[in-house]
Amino acid sequence: MNLPVIIKFVIDLLAVLLLALGIKGLSKVKSARDANRLAAFAMSLSVVGLLSYYLGTSGIAIQSWIWIIIGSIIGSLFGAILAKKVPMTSMPETVALFNGCGGMSSLLVALGVAIFPISNSVENLDFFKSLINDVSISVSIFVGAITFTGSIVAMAKLQGWLSTPGWTQSKVRHFVNIVFAVASLIAFFDLINGNTSSIWLLVIVSSLLGIGVTLPIGGADMPVVISLLNSYSGIAAAAAGFVVDSQLLIVAGAMVGAAGLILTQVMCKGMNRSLVSVLFGGSLSAQSTASSGSGEYTNITSCSVEECALTLEAANKVIIVPGYGLAVAQAQHTLREVTKKLEQNGIEVVYAIHPVAGRMPGHMNVLLAEADVPYEQLKEMDVVNPDFPATDVVLVLGANDVVNPQAKNDSSSPLYGMPVLDVQEARTVFVIKRGMSAGYSGIKNDLFDLPNTSMVFGDAKKVLNDLIGELKDLGVGEK
């Protein structure tokens, strides 16, 4: 072993260690920010390691430098600008976009190696080695393409640029996707047989497969899909590692792939959905309207903002249940104003965070943190559920399915078994909502029919603004 090899080995080892520590640190609130920086540092270190290795061995041509610099500057610049500009509410689609580009990168690397075999990989290739080479190229292209098109479709659907076409809810789509999958397999075997041009067939059909699999999935399940695609982009990176013979790529890719799978599992549990039903079941609302839960409401109590303010003023303990509707209305700052007033009046305020509140697990925490809500006031579901019976007022803001008692009481409900917040145990529940439309699941919410529930109709932000006015009139928070 000569010096550059040793140096690269040491740097790679160090980078893997730091990346692992980074992922580990990201799972604790205190260390998360430093851990993210540590991981970023490890990534830069790995680039330095690779470049110094080539400088010390084969050297890097001027031409290569030029293309390296062009690619780096353009990619980094766009990435940094987007990351700075994007609003916190659009975080899920942003992650999807970044993720898709990672997949695209793996795809391009494999494509490049397939079309123009790089020098060291063509020398003395025996059959076994060339087979491995072909397999890793195929996997990298297949997974990379699915990651790319799938992520772009996911992003477009979250942004509202794409709706769910009707035909995708029928059985036809399974047939279509099976055709794409079989075509990918044919292209793969053709490629191994030495027919290089079938690589284009592989690119096209796996891209179509990515679209075909993601398109039928409804908005509520999209976070799960993004998390799964995130795992795929790790697998694509690991496959690219086999293509260019890099252990560092394989380790890092495998870590992300495995971590992404776990995270996907956690999300599925929070929504009471199995991964299989997310991927093959289509949009939940399309199913449930056909089966059950589309019953009529019989006992809706509607009330004014003034009544709501009066009840809040008399309360000792208030629990806020924020949901996706709050994020859409961008009302988290207004909500914070309301709770500040209540706190100044000596009222205990706590936020109950359902594991899948917002659009992704943890998304709501980010949004509330942005509005300066103290971290200690955010309570997780298991912690806060026993507190509801001793609570005077619960404010449900833009949440729906996560407070549906059906999930506990009605075994025929599609929601049955999903962990929910037991808000109906509180003395009074106010649900602030635009109208009587159903949640993601399209299922009737039994909570709205209960005698202790009152509906305050209106846009979350407007209602909260009115509430601030009413509370002011009552002299709450004036001290």
Partner 1 sequence: MSFISLLWVLLLGSLLGLELIGKVPPTLHTPLMSGANAISGITMLAALTLIVKAEGNVPLLIIGSVSLGFALFNVVGGFFVTDRMLAMFSRKPSNKK
Minimum Å distance from CB 73 to partner 1? 9
Nearer to partner 1, 94 or 164 (CB): 94
Burial 334-368 (b: 16+ CB within 10 A, else e): bbbbbbebbeebebebbbbbbbbbbbbbebbbebb
Beta strands in 324-404 (DSSP E): 348-353, 378-380, 393-397
* DSSP 8-state symbol, 376: G
Find the angle CA(217)-CA(223)-CA(228) to the nearest 5 degrees: 85
Part in contact with partner 1 (CB under 8 A); list of ranges 89-97, 196-204, 306-314, 391-399: 89-97
Site for partner 1 in 213-242 (CB under 8 A): 226-227, 230, 233-234, 236-238, 240-242
Part in contact with partner 1 (CB under 8 A); list of ranges 31-39, 210-218, 282-290, 446-454: 31-39
Decide: is 196 part of the binding site for partner 1 (CB under 8 A): no
Minimum Å distance from CB 267 to partner 1? 7
Tokens of 130: 């060339």
Give the strand pairing for 378-380 and 393-397.
Answer: unpaired
Nearer to partner 1, 256 or 447 (CB): 256
Minimum Å distance from CB 23 to partner 1? 5
Site for partner 1 in 121-140 (CB under 8 A): 128-129, 132
What's the order of all strands across the beta sheet hosting 317-322? 378-380, 348-353, 317-322, 393-397, 428-433, 453-457
Nearer to partner 1, 266 or 310 (CB): 266
CA dihedral sign of residues 377, 378, 381, 383: negative
Per CB under 8 A, the list member of 5, 10, 76, 314 interacting with partner 1 is 76
Tokens of 301: 């109590």
Site for partner 1 in 360-399 (CB under 8 A): 360-363, 365-366, 369-370, 372, 374-375, 378, 380
Minimum Å distance from CB 210 to partner 1? 16
Please tell me the distance from the alpha carbon of residue 324 to that of residue 329, in angstroms, as a whole number.
9
Per CB under 8 A, the list member of 6, 10, 86, 178 interacting with partner 1 is 86
167 burial via Cβ count (<10 Å: 0-12, 13-18, 19+) = exposed
Give the strand pairing for 317-322 and 393-397.
Answer: parallel
Site for partner 1 in 48-67 (CB under 8 A): 50-51, 54, 58, 60-61, 63-64, 67
The number of angstroms, rounded, from the C-alpha of 37 to the middle of its chain's C-alpha atoms is: 21
Task: Verify whether residue 401 is a known catalytic residue.
Answer: yes
φ/ψ region of 459 (left if φ > 0, alpha if ψ in -120 to 50, else beta) reads beta
Catalytic annotation, pick one of 12, 134, 401, 422: 401
Please tell me the distance from the alpha carbon of residue 362 to that of residue 473, in angstroms, as a whole number.
35
Nearer to partner 1, 68 or 172 (CB): 68
Site for partner 1 in 259-288 (CB under 8 A): 259-263, 266-267, 270
Part in contact with partner 1 (CB under 8 A); list of ranges 251-259, 285-293, 341-349, 450-458: 251-259
Part in contact with partner 1 (CB under 8 A); list of ranges 39-47, 164-172, 314-322, 400-408: 39-47
Please tell me the distance from the alpha carbon of residue 24 to that of residue 19, in angstroms, as a whole number.
8
Nearer to partner 1, 30 or 171 (CB): 30
Per CB under 8 A, the list member of 84, 299, 411, 479 interacting with partner 1 is 84
Per CB under 8 A, the list member of 212, 257, 282, 293 interacting with partner 1 is 257
Q: Which residues participate in catalysis according to the annotation?
A: 401
